[in-house]
Amino acid sequence: MAACIFCKIIKGEIPSMKLFESEKTLAFLDIGPLSFGHALVIPKHHGAKLTDIPDDQLSEVLHVTKKIATAVGAENYNILQNNGRLAHQEVDHVHFHYIPKPNKEEGLGISWPTQKVDKDKLQKLLEEVKAKM
């Protein structure tokens, strides 16, 4: 946690271009944006993955992300949250990206390689997940 760049931004040790701040949430412009207006929204509670953050600390993150999307006013945009290196997470502190997509060249590029799935295995997964929820 002491080396976490986002925790340092929260503490004011590293400057940021703050869009919003409350007791639980901080939002700021990304200094290495994929497009103009790219912003990050983070819970102030440190945790590497979404499942590490208590629900009460996540309560306003999506609300703030929506407020930023509305304020920036981009017609097309992505909301992105990654968990773990294989999922392209670079900073080990939960964060949500708001990324405007003004045209085909700027913003987030995505490849979505779908897979064939055995329906019986999918049904089994459905039952297992529902039982745990």
Q: Where in the sequence numbering do the catalytic residues fall?
A: 95
From the centroid of its chain, how far is CA 73?
19
- Residue 47: exposure state from Cβ atoms within 10 A (0-12, 13-18, ≥19): middle
- Residue 14: exposure state from Cβ atoms within 10 A (0-12, 13-18, ≥19): exposed
